[in-house]
Amino acid sequence: MPVAACGICCDVCEFYVKGICVPCAAGTNADGVRQKQDAEIKKLGMGCPILQCTSERKIAYCTRDCQDFPCEKYRTGWASWMGPGPCPYSESWLAMFPRRRASGK
């Protein structure tokens, strides 16, 4: 069951299930990152900026490993790739995450 660096499970993605997309990878999986980025560049013209960021920061998953999550990139979207607005999580989920992290609940 592949899980993307953003924390989304590929098995629940329509594009992956229909074979439109290759599975994603943790940011620390160099071969998986390269394969995913190459496939996205070929199909979409650019690779996933979330996967690129986790790879550069040498962290596996944003939601688990990044103390900056949710960063401004998630709140405003990756306009050049995903469009405006929060992505791939909702504004309410992004607001909840730091509160739960701080409270430990």
pTM of the model: 0.81
Question: How many angstroms from the chain centroid is the CA of residue 104?
Answer: 23
Domain boundaries of the chain, sorted by first residue: 10-103
What's the pLDDT tens digit per position in 67-101?
999 988 787 766 666 666 677 888 898 889 988 88
- pLDDT of 23 reads 86
What does pLDDT average to over the chain? 86
Tracing tokens 């960021």 back to the chain, one arrives at: 53
